[in-house]
Structure 1
């Protein structure tokens, strides 16, 4: 990649950390970005919040029970297939352990982490906490422990700021995640192959 004053590729990803599609997309995107950075390229990632279940409990419920109640018993087979497919990306989706919970405070933690240059690490840890470790990522104690693991000094982004960020995303007409854009270009919706993200990074760099 070119070494100029404007050599940074800016990537925006709209996601929710209880969204399996967002998790897989982020893992693939992160791998593509890692290769760019290994070659000396510069990539800046901005996270935008989205809540798939804005009325979810902060206390947490077994995820499979919630999904079955919402969509029917066929969802169990679908989650089993999704978990099997995710293994190809090295991702463990343990729906049997996962806890359905509100993600407002998790998004606030991501914003705080991003302000400290640790947004990418915090997002990965939250995904893993939810889908692999079976942790309630709405629980304040759990979030404090995860923040400590990543090295976040304080979760100090005001709640009102996050509410405004969520409202801005909704105002853009976004109704599903993930949505990933490169240098402000059209968003790639849903989970794309890693090669697609790699091509988008190269194209964004070439057009600069």
Structure 2
């Protein structure tokens, strides 16, 4: 009689649990790092991030062997969150949704200006590092812009490329005004820029 191979299910379940646990730890590290970079600056150590995230230092160093890798992961994670918000706004069929998304994108940029500056200094380009995620966000902006055009909720002569350029310009304007740490001032600057998109 041929013996049956052992049931692989327990090992598979264990592997899945380990992978799920590793994903949760990584998410916790990313959220903690984003918060600490925004409040304490980029000088915060990986060990401190690990302590605040409630994981061991080895967990952080295993996922992110260098600070630049963590900066990049935080920035990509923020874009993924914006894409998720964009999908929700697209489903709502609101012609004003473009302004909601752009406002969120500008606020996100203001909160993470230090991380974005560090990536620029290290010559990282998010469009190259995460082309699919960046393209998804741009596509959602274009779709919401088309809807706003159809409802005459936005200037007829503005293009998606120009809208994305204005968002990038908002980051520079907020940084120039020293408003990175003031949500109210950053939001005011963003609103001035968004007002320029309204029909004349």
Same fold (TM over 0.5): no
- The TM-score, its normalising length taken from structure 2, stands at 0.28
- More helix per residue: 1 or 2? 2
**Larger RCO: 1 or 2 (CA < 8 Å, sep 6+):** 1
Select the structure that is richer in strand: 1
TM-score normalised by L of structure 1:
0.28
